[in-house]
Amino acid sequence: MSLLIYLATPYNHADAEVREHRYRRAVEYATALLNMGAFVYSPIVHNHPVAIEGDLGREFTFWADFDYALIDRCDILAVAQIEGWQESIGIAAEVEYARSVKMPIRYLSDPLTKESIDHLTGLAIAVSKRQALSFRTVSKVNLERALLWHQGGLEEWTISDWAVAMAGEAGEVCDAIKKLRRVECAVASNNTKQPVNREAAVKAAAQELGDTFLYLDLLAQRLGLSIEDCIRDTFNRISVREKMPQRL
């Protein structure tokens, strides 16, 4: 299982012994998830020793931005229903944030049971099937497939060849949008390739957009570039130029 699980557990309490006990319970749950093959991040397991050694704040407000940033990097929020979870301000905020970014949420029983873990595993499998692709993964697999056609490497084609192939697919996108516009304007056509409705026209455009991107990625690789880096660098440069806060 390659998905990353954010483990939410209660922590803050006026009594230091209760905080220590809750830390131990978080370790218990994190260990169980790791033993089932999950990649798990627990803010309490990570931050409790840091907070003690560094004399840092215990309140969730101190850690909120840090926790939200880690939730953004995870795939599932798992809430351990151990003593104090329903009153926990931190868990409530984490759940609310996870819902706002449409992250799947699972509640783990106390004591932790096989059934509870199985439910989490089932969700992880379902999420993995629809997990968003990364540029890095697309580029890697795209190159692997391309080399089945171009066994001598991408260098079998010149840079111009790859650029023309990409431009050809971009032209197909424009043609698909032209046909979509015909559907929207109810323009009669005897063309057997004309989509019969908007759904079919959009589907055709989606296929051509995919083709265009795949050739664009191969063009970048032929140039010795990473399409991920190209997009990140360009996006961030424009944000800096326009004095906008968004960064990739």
Residues in a beta bridge with 78: 7, 106
Do the two domains 4-129 and 135-241 of this chain adopt the same fold? no
**What pLDDT is attached to residue 128?**
59
Nearest to 121 by CA among 212, 238, 36: 36
Question: In sequence order, what DSSP letters do the residues of 145-194 get, joined into one string?
Answer: HHHHH-TT-GGGS-HHHHHHHHHHHHHHHHHHHHHHHHHHTT-----TTS
**DSSP H or E run through 108:** strand 105-108
CATH level 2 (architecture), domain 4-129: 3-Layer(aba) Sandwich (3.40)
- Alpha carbon of 147 to those of 49, 162, 226: distances in Å? 49, 14, 17
Is the predicted pLDDT of residue 36 greater than 90, yes or no? Answer: no
DSSP 8-state code for residue 225: -
* Per-residue pLDDT at 1 exceeds 60: no
pLDDT digit string, tens, across residues 85-102: 999 999 999 999 999 988
Q: What CA dihedral angle connects 11, 16, 17 and 22, to 10 degrees? A: 10
Q: Which fold would CATH assign to domain 135-241?
A: Helix Hairpins (1.10.287)
User: What helix, strand, coil percent values describe the chain, rounded to 5?
Assistant: 65, 5, 30
Write the CB contacts of 64 (distance below 8 Å, at least 6 apart in sequence). 93
Q: Which residues pair with 77 in a beta bridge?
A: 6, 105
Span 193-241, pLDDT tens digits: 888 899 999 999 999 999 999 999 999 999 999 999 999 999 999 999 9
Q: Would you kindly state where each structural domain of the chain is located, as residue ranges?
A: 4-129, 135-241
What is the pLDDT confidence band of residue 131, given thresholds at 50, 70 and 90?
low
